[in-house]
Amino acid sequence: MHIAVARPSTFSSHEVSKSSIAGFGSTIKGPSCAKLKSSCHIATTQLSYQNVKSGGLRFGKMITKAMSDSSDTKPLPGLPIDLRGKRAFIAGIADDNGYGWAIAKSLAAAGAEILVGTWVPALNIFETSLRRGKFDESRVLPDGSLMEITKVYPLDAVYDTPEDVPEDVKSNKRYAGSSKWTVKEVAESVKEDFGSIDILVHSLANGPEVSKPLLETSRYGYLAAISASSYSYVSLLQHFAPIMNPGGASISLTYIASERIIPGYGGGMSSAKAALESDTQVLAFEAGRKHGIRVNTISAGPLRSRAAKAIGFIDMMIDYSLENAPLQKELSAEEVGNAAAFLASPLASAITGAVVYVDNGLNAMGVGVDSPVFKDLDIPRADKH
């Protein structure tokens, strides 16, 4: 599925083929927002685009459309992704152009209530942007309504409890005015506000020395990457699992550098992603046995997000993927969001401990077919026009 906003000026014509439709509805309740009523109609469509401004290749998409009807509680036809009545906590959203935001939109389109944990130093800018409507365009769901975020919590997942926070951080002006932002405190606040959740999403990563080769990475930089990018997931599950309903799902985001050499992705970040994937398997067993929760991770391809640009070579990785992946198209954040919605849904009720690749198939490649070595081979290429 690909979530898209249909605008009259964007599509000149469309042809519906083998359409299967399913309706979703939900009412989001929360102390600080209006009710969000949304539902989805899923249809396989083939669209003919004209005058579409896009940096990627043009390609057919499956469109998820949301239609409002929260009062409809009858069983849905077909095989829908139905998250009505479910509540999701997404840790790590600080803007509107990353995978975390896309996952929130997909979950909302399927009927889930959205709670967000935002890094404390970015909290004020994020909430101000939301309040002033700067994110309104990217909040638009397929039915034209705006995704509602029931509540935004300050969060710094590097610290588990208040006792773990050093004095220099407590006195840092970037943390002034915020309270109860350690993992334990946020889980307690969510329990106090809402009682329980059904979906936990870890969209966090940080490597202060990511631009350094591993051979030049300091112990501090290496351990900081592990702490923020992998142990933070262990901590989140440790504190949130007790308030997750049985049958719930937890999802994190990883990267192919966990198992393949990606020059330039340094500072211990490749090690952190490898740890995250290993922990996913162990946590799937432990959280599954103790809490009845599924634990999976999505290995997503490169995306031009603000966070990814900090690495410094994201454009090269996107170009490499376009040339070498089985599917020659630029990966969209919505495609990762929709994969997460599937993993969080009852349709994936037997899937746990898995690394799910959403990267246009790049993970399957053994060589880069754009190499001059293969110039004499007749290698199929996508029509970019």
Active site residue ranges: 255, 265
User: Residues 178, 179, 181, 186: is their CA dihedral positive or negative?
Assistant: negative
What DSSP assignment string belongs to 162-175?
GGGS-HHHHT-GGG
Which helix (H) or strand (E) covers residue 235, if one does? Answer: helix 232-240
Beta bridge partners of 356: 298
Q: What is the rounded CA–CA span in Å between residue 19 and residue 21? A: 6
Note the Cα 283 to chain centre separation in Å.
19
Q: What is the rounded CA–CA span in Å between residue 247 and residue 259? A: 30
Q: What is the rounded CA–CA span in Å between residue 212 and residue 220? A: 13
Residue 364 DSSP symbol = G
Q: How many helices (H) and strands (E) does the chain have?
A: 11, 14
Q: What is the rounded CA–CA span in Å between residue 165 and residue 179? A: 12
Q: What is the rounded CA–CA span in Å between residue 78 and residue 224? A: 46
- Which residues have CB under 8 Å from 270's CB, separation 6+? 214, 257, 258, 262
What DSSP assignment string belongs to 141-209?
-TTSPBPP-SEEEEE-TT-SSGGGS-HHHHT-GGGTT--S-SHHHHHHHHHHHHS-EEEEEE-----TT
245 residue type, one letter: N
User: Of 250, 243, 140, 232, which is closest to residue 187 (Cα–Cα)?
Assistant: 243
